[in-house]
């Protein structure tokens, strides 16, 4: 990691706060930035079902993962306490709009549909999609066209960007939506779908954990897409600060460090 001194990082974070304060002064109404500082706590919406991004440790049941580390670092930099609020993919944006949490840190990909209803920060990384199939069916699915066929059922979790991708890019296949807390790859393990649409990030973990499933077409991933944190729309001061924090931590090498720690495979 390209480490900065503590004073340098503190000064950079303070600069981000100053930028956000200016944006708040220009905008109407109080900002969430001011609210979290006054409360002494920042609430993170997270799904806890996306290893290695946000998941519960099997032994301790504590939340762990790339996004949990990022959330805790943000809270530390702001001198606040981190609080994690359980949510699911289908209701991520609803929770923001209902003020159930202050930001989503769970491994969200950017999409046009989401951007119409919420705000994304500066991206911290990139992702792309690959199919997962049973090892016994690898020969059946040698290319993307083999998936886009009648008689092929593809599972995705409800409310994810994978669901939108299958609808738009593989319209001839049958889409099976899986509602949280169940996961689409569990349907694949049970033999109820022919494939699931995964991210490069999660596929790398799942194929190690479950050798009976295989990530195919990993050399031809589709839908390269930025990964970013998500906040409620209409709060420029909060978004400006989080953009500044993400930029600062990218430059400091923090994201390189946690990407390596959690074995992230990026597009």
**What's the CATH number for 6-124+228-261?**
3.40.190.10
Q: Same CATH topology for 6-124+228-261 and 128-224? A: yes
pTM: 0.80
Q: What is the pLDDT of residues 63-93, one digit of tens each?
A: 999 999 999 999 999 999 999 999 999 999 9
Cα–Cα distance between 65 and 53 in angstroms, integer?
5
DSSP one-letter string for 24-72: HHHSSS--HHHHHHHHTEEEEEE-SEETTTEEE-TTT--EESHHHHHHH
* Biggest alpha carbon–alpha carbon distance for the chain: 60
Domain ranges of the chain: 6-124+228-261, 128-224
Architecture of domain 128-224: 3-Layer(aba) Sandwich (3.40)
pLDDT for the residue 73? 98
Confidence of residue 29 (pLDDT cuts 50, 70, 90): low
Q: What is the pLDDT of residues 160-177, one digit of tens each?
A: 999 999 999 999 999 999
- Classify 171 as helix, strand or coil: coil
Say if residues 42 and 82 touch (Cβ distance below 8 Å). yes
Cα–Cα distance between 253 and 60 in angstroms, integer?
29
pLDDT over 90, % of the chain: 81
């Amino acid at each position: 990691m390209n480490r900065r001194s503590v004073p340098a990082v503190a000064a950079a974070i303070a600069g981000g706060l100053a930028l956000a304060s200016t944006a708040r002064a220009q905008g109407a109404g109080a900002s969430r930035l001011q609210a979290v500082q006054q409360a002494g706590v920042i609430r993170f919406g997270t799904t806890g079902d996306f290893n290695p991004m946000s998941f519960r440790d099997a032994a301790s049941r504590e939340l762990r993962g790339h996004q949990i580390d990022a959330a805790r670092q943000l809270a530390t930099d702001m001198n606040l306490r981190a609080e994690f609020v359980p949510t699911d993919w289908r209701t991520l944006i609803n929770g923001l709009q209902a003020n159930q949490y202050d930001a989503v840190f769970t491994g969200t990909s950017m999409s046009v549909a989401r951007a119409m209803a919420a705000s994304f920060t500066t991206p911290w990384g990139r992702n792309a999609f690959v199919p997962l199939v049973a090892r016994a069916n690898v020969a059946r699915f040698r290319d993307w066209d083999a998936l886009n066929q009648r008689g092929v059922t593809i599972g995705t979790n409800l409310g994810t960007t994978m669901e939108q991708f299958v609808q738009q890019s593989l319209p001839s296949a049958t889409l099976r939506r899986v509602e949280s807390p169940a996961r689409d790859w569990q349907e694949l393990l049970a033999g109820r779908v022919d494939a699931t649409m995964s991210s490069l990030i999660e596929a790398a973990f799942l194929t190690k954990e479950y050798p009976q499933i295989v990530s195919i077409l990993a050399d031809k991933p589709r839908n390269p897409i930025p990964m970013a944190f998500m906040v409620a729309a209409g709060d420029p001061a909060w978004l400006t600060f989080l953009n500044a924090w993400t930029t600062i931590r990218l430059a400091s090498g923090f994201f390189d460090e946690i990407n390596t720690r959690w074995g992230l495979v990026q597009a």
